[in-house]
Every structure is written in structure tokens, then in C-alpha cells.
């Protein structure tokens, strides 16, 4: 099959701002195509569209029997491509072709998501190999795991007020290097712990650090309300151009490496990057309009349903991953600061109840995947329930509403895996699974070390109806590091035994491109996690 190169075909080495043209804004209407198989004669006649990205998302088997959903990102105005599926018949690899269908952009977003087209198809159970155009994508869940990659919080941060992360250098924003490092290690599964999208503000040419982001696509131009003679801001902050720059170009290397388990982060709120998340990465069919504004130009956010996937580590050993949405809500107080009638702890609770139910019959081991760490520690200024600053020397337990909501519902897990805090840290509290935070995937890092062990137990200072006076014990150990990177974990010979290795791109003068440093390791056994920094 030949591949016709579109005028919008993107090479990861090409400057993004120069490559996309206004022709991308000329839209052609598309009608959804069926999922029925396509004859080989049709394949020969159809031209391959230029595919910006092609990848495989892990989904619940209630959605797709194989547990895998194929997606492709293309320029708008072309037909959805054919998904090529190969399986063995009489020990010969035979290919058949199915037509991918368009995943419709969210309504009432005007031109924000009209430059690219998203196509998808559930991969047929039993498929051994899969391609979209000439791009091979993961075709099946692994039957044996040797390596799993974990990373999150990846986008290049744009802050209101003119403080810009240096997106123009790999040292300042090493996401592409991190993606290449993950791909080179050939994992069988990738876990993305949330927060893709950080280009929420335009690059201000007057800002002192504007050189760091001069080529970044900004948010949409606000609407103008002629009747009331005023500007009306869009109720969301992302666009397809922004997602191409923040995600699809720099992360391109990982998309063909392994199936991805994706967790929704708080940067994927409907008022932030939610429209793009549900269009590109939510692992369910028919959810692309979840964050679409109503006709009045308002968005209403909600938590998505908890789901689970079972990953075969080897015959007789299965790892259950329960994914809980924690995108909305406050970090430090069970109630909303501005409206104390909003009880975020109560909103979260059903997600943990569902996860507890889904993992109750897991025979081997289970992990809880939730973007905001239940027992993470943040150096950012936090607040106690009386809105006072923390006591001198008292570190901030992050995501207090999650601690309340999950109380008594964590017994089935061997690990809580999260990001959100822009660092890497491991926290051990007696009576609950260890918390591992991997939020150093490229976005602006949090405050540097040291990160002291909190002086108080989680919820020790929080008064919430239905909880005992001391819900949790004092943390016994905490390890942290603040540098860009990703994690690779290896299953041990015994069930519930894992070895974690944490890598960072090495930009030391004289080092070859792609050089990395192993800066820490962790040993995980049942509900114990011990991490040690490596001598540099």
C-alpha cells in the first residue's frame, strides 16, 4: 500500500508553528462509516491518508472484547483509514481490513477541533498484528510482561502572567527524550498517570521569558458578543493545534511501543483540556462530547465511571488495574473553598466503591490508578480546614478529599499509583497500600528537595462526619526526588514482587544523544515499597 504525503504531514523534527497552514481550517463534512470488513479491492483503491499519530488504548472488555481500542489522528478532510489486522491461519499470517470510523469532535467548540480528524476501531480479539497505514500499532494485550513503563504530567507549562517553561529546549522540556527512552526499552504496557495538556495560555511576546514559547499555539481567540459589546472567553482552554504541539509530536515515539492505560488528570477538566482528552484519549466509545459546551457556552464537569483491566504478567499471575477519575475538586480540603456546600469527598466516594467492587474478586494482585495521589505530599502552599496556612514545619498532605472518600476502601490494593505532584515520591503508611507518585514526565517540576516526612498523620487535622478521630497512622517512611524522567518496572519471580527503576535524560556535556541516568530503584513486595537513590 502506498502512502500519499499530505501538505499537513508532520515530521517530529519539523518546527510546528511553521508546518501547519491555514488550509487546515478548510473543513470537509464527514459521515460516520460502519465497522464492517472491507474487501481487498477497496484497499487497493484507497489512498493512505497522512497519519499524525496512531496508538492503542487499553479499555474495559465491556467496551471492546479484546480490551483494546485503536485510534488514529489525521488531517481533516480525508477519509478514515483502514485498520489492518493480522492473525495466524494454518501458521500463516493473514491480513484482513476493517474501516475505522470517525470519532466526532465535541459540539459547540467552533474551530477548536476542526483541523484534525480522529478515527477509531475496536481491535478484534485474537489479532496478532495491526497497522494503520504503514504505522504498526500494538495489537493485543500482553500474555507475558517483562517490563511496564510509567510516566505522567508531561505538557509544557504556560502560566498566566508570563512565566513560561522553556519549551524550545530538550533540557527545559524533555518530553520527546522521555518518550524515546520509553520506546527504546520496549515495554509491553505503558501507564500514563494523567495531565497531558498544559498550553492553557498564549505566549505573551512582552514577557521576559517569551522566547521559551514563541512557537507555541495559543488558546482560541475569545468570542465577541456583538449584542452586549463584550468579549466572551471560551469555556475551555485547549485546541487540536495545542494537543499536536503538547502531546502528539513529542510523544510520538511511545504510541507504537505498547498499549496505553490512560488516567484522566486535573488538566483534563472540561474547563481546561477536557475536550481534547475525551476526543483523543478517553478509552471509551461515544464519549467525545463529554466536555462539549452547551448552547449558552457553559461546560459542566463530571467524574467518569471507574473501570478495570486485567493484565497477564505470566500464566497464573494477573495484575488488576482499577482506574478512578479524580480530575475535579480541591486538593487540600474536603469542601470547595468558594462554596462550602460542595462536598468533593462525597463526589469521589462512588468511584472508590466501584473500584473496590471490581477488584474484590481479583485472585492475584491489584493496583489503584488515580491521578491525584491519596497520600501524596506537596510543597505548594496548602490550607487546613479552617483556611489557615499550615503549621510551621508541617508539610501538606495533598488530595485530602481523596483520603476521606477512599477511607476503608483500600484493602484490596498492593499499590496506589498516581502523579499530579511534579516530582517522584514514595510514601509508606501502616495499614494502607504504599503510595507511589510518578509526576515528573516533562512539565515544570515542583520545588526541589528536601521533602520532609509530614509531622501529622493524614486527616489528623480534618474533621469530617463519619470518620474516626485518627483515621490513619503516621507515615513511617518517605522518599522523593525532583528531576525529569520516567519509570520502568519489572515483575519478580514471586507474585506481588516488583523492581522499579527510575530514569532521567542525561544532558551532561559530552554524553551521546539519548543518554540516561538511573537515579533510583524501588523494591515492591506485597504492600511494602522501599526506594533508594543511586549514587551519581
Residues 6+ apart with CB under 8 A from 511: none
Which residue's entry shows cell 500519499?
Answer: 4
Kindly state the cell numbers that stand for 13: 523534527
Predicted confidence at residue 31, as pLDDT, reads: 25
Average pLDDT, the chain: 85
Kindly state the cell numbers that stand for 345: 469527598
CA–CA separation, 395 and 397 (whole Å): 7
Specify if 134 maps to a domain: no
pLDDT tens readout for residues 38-95 = 443 333 344 455 899 999 999 999 999 999 999 999 999 899 999 999 998 888 889 9
| Average pLDDT over every residue of 369-390 | 70
Please check whether residue 195 is in contact with residue 266, taking contact to mean a CB–CB distance below 8 angstroms: yes
Please check whether residue 221 is in contact with residue 202, taking contact to mean a CB–CB distance below 8 angstroms: no
Describe the chain by its helix, strand, coil percentages, rounded to 5: 15, 25, 60
Specify if 424 maps to a domain: yes
Specify if 48 maps to a domain: no
Specify if 65 maps to a domain: no
Specify if 200 maps to a domain: yes
Widest Cα–Cα separation across the chain: 73
| Average pLDDT over every residue of 320-337 | 88
| Average pLDDT over every residue of 503-527 | 92
Please check whether residue 278 is in contact with residue 71, taking contact to mean a CB–CB distance below 8 angstroms: no
Residue bearing the bigger pLDDT, 322 or 463: 322
Percent residues over pLDDT 90 in the chain: 62
CA–CA separation, 254 and 265 (whole Å): 19
Specify if 105 maps to a domain: no
164, burial (CB in 10 Å: exposed 0-12, middle 13-18, buried 19+): buried
CATH number at 318 reads 3.60.21.10
Predicted confidence at residue 392, as pLDDT, reads: 47
Predicted confidence at residue 9, as pLDDT, reads: 32
Specify if 470 maps to a domain: yes
Specify if 102 maps to a domain: no
Q: What is the pTM of this model?
A: 0.88
Q: Of 10-24, 100-114, 411-425, which range is least confident?
A: 10-24
Predicted confidence at residue 20, as pLDDT, reads: 37
The tally of domains found in the chain comes to 1
Please check whether residue 236 is in contact with residue 109, taking contact to mean a CB–CB distance below 8 angstroms: yes
What strand order describes the sheet that includes 148-151? 101-103, 116-122, 68-75, 53-58, 260-262, 189-192, 148-151, 486-491, 497-505, 516-525, 528-533
pLDDT-derived band at 208 (thresholds 50, 70, 90) equals confident
End-to-end CA distance of the chain: 49
Predicted confidence at residue 322, as pLDDT, reads: 97
434 lies in which domain range? 142-533
Predicted confidence at residue 231, as pLDDT, reads: 55
pLDDT tens readout for residues 405-425 = 999 999 999 999 999 999 999
pLDDT tens readout for residues 262-310 = 999 999 999 999 999 999 999 999 999 999 998 877 888 999 999 999 9
In the 8-state DSSP scheme, what is residue 414? S
| Average pLDDT over every residue of 318-322 | 96
Rounded to an integer, what is the distance from CA 369 to the centroid of its chain?
11
pLDDT-derived band at 233 (thresholds 50, 70, 90) equals low
| Average pLDDT over every residue of 251-271 | 96
Amino acid at each position: 500500500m502506498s502512502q500519499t504525503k499530505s501538505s499537513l504531514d508532520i515530521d517530529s523534527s519539523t518546527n510546528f508553528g511553521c508546518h501547519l497552514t491555514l488550509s487546515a481550517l478548510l473543513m470537509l463534512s464527514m459521515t460516520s462509516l460502519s465497522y464492517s470488513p472491507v474487501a481487498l479491492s477497496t484497499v487497493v483503491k484507497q489512498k493512505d491518508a497522512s497519519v499524525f499519530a496512531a496508538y492503542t488504548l487499553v479499555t474495559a472488555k465491556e467496551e471492546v472484547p479484546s480490551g483494546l481500542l485503536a485510534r488514529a489522528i489525521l488531517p481533516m478532510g480525508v477519509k478514515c483509514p483502514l485498520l489492518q489486522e493480522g492473525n495466524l491461519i494454518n501458521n500463516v499470517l493473514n491480513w484482513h481490513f476493517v474501516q475505522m470510523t470517525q470519532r466526532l469532535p465535541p459540539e459547540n467548540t467552533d474551530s477548536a477541533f476542526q483541523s484534525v480528524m480522529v478515527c477509531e476501531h475496536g481491535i478484534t480479539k485474537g489479532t496478532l498484528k495491526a497497522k494503520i497505514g504503514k504505522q504498526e500499532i500494538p495489537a493485543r494485550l500482553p500474555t507475558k510482561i517483562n517490563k511496564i513503563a510509567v510516566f505522567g504530567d508531561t505538557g509544557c507549562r504556560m502560566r498566566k502572567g508570563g512565566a513560561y517553561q522553556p519549551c524550545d529546549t530538550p533540557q527545559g522540556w524533555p518530553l520527546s527524550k522521555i518518550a524515546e527512552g520509553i520506546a527504546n526499552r520496549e515495554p509491553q504496557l505503558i501507564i500514563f498517570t494523567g495531565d497531558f495538556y498544559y498550553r492553557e495560555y498564549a505566549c505573551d511576546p512582552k514577557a521576559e521569558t517569551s522566547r521559551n514559547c514563541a512557537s507555541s499555539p495559543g488558546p482560541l481567540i475569545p468570542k465577541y458578543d456583538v449584542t452586549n459589546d463584550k468579549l466572551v472567553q471560551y469555556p475551555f482552554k485547549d485546541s487540536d493545534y495545542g494537543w499536536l504541539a503538547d502531546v502528539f509530536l513529542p510523544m510520538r515515539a511511545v504510541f507504537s511501543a505498547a498499549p496505553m492505560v490512560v488516567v484522566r488528570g486535573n488538566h483534563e477538566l472540561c474547563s481546561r483540556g477536557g475536550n481534547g482528552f475525551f476526543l483523543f484519549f478517553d478509552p471509551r466509545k461515544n464519549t467525545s462530547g463529554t466536555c462539549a459546551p452547551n448552547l449558552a457556552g457553559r461546560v459542566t464537569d463530571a467524574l467518569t465511571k471507574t473501570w478495570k483491566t486485567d493484565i497477564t504478567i505470566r500464566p497464573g499471575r494477573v495484575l488488576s488495574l482499577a482506574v478512578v477519575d479524580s480530575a475535579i475538586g480541591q486538593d487540600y480540603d474536603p469542601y470547595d473553598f468558594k462554596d462550602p456546600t460542595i462536598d468533593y469527598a462525597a463526589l469521589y466516594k462512588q468511584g472508590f466503591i466501584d473500584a473496590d467492587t471490581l477488584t474484590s474478586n481479583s485472585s492475584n494482585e491489584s493496583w489503584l490508578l488515580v491521578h491525584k495521589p491519596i497520600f501524596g505530599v506537596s510543597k505548594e502552599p496548602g490550607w487546613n480546614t479552617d483556611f489557615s496556612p499550615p503549621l510551621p514545619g508541617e508539610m501538606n498532605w495533598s488530595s485530602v478529599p481523596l483520603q476521606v472518600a477512599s477511607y476503608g476502601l483500600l484493602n484490596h490494593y498492593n499499590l496506589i499509583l498516581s502523579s499530579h505532584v511534579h516530582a517522584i515520591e514514595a510514601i509508606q503508611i501502616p495499614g494502607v497500600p504504599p503510595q507511589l507518585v510518578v509526576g515528573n514526565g516533562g512539565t515544570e517540576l515542583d520545588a526541589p528537595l528536601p521533602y520532609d516526612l509530614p509531622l501529622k498523620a493524614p486527616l489528623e487535622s480534618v474533621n469530617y462526619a463519619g470518620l474516626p478521630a485518627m483515621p490513619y497512622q503516621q507515615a513511617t517512611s518517605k522518599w522523593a526526588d525532583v528531576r525529569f524522567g520516567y519509570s520502568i518496572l519489572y515483575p519478580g519471580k514471586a507474585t506481588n514482587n516488583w523492581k522499579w527503576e527510575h530514569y532521567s535524560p542525561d544532558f551532561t556535556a559530552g554524553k551521546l544523544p539519548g543518554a540516561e541516568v538511573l537515579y533510583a530503584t524501588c523494591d515492591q513486595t506485597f504492600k511494602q515499597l522501599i526506594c533508594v537513590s543511586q549514587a551519581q
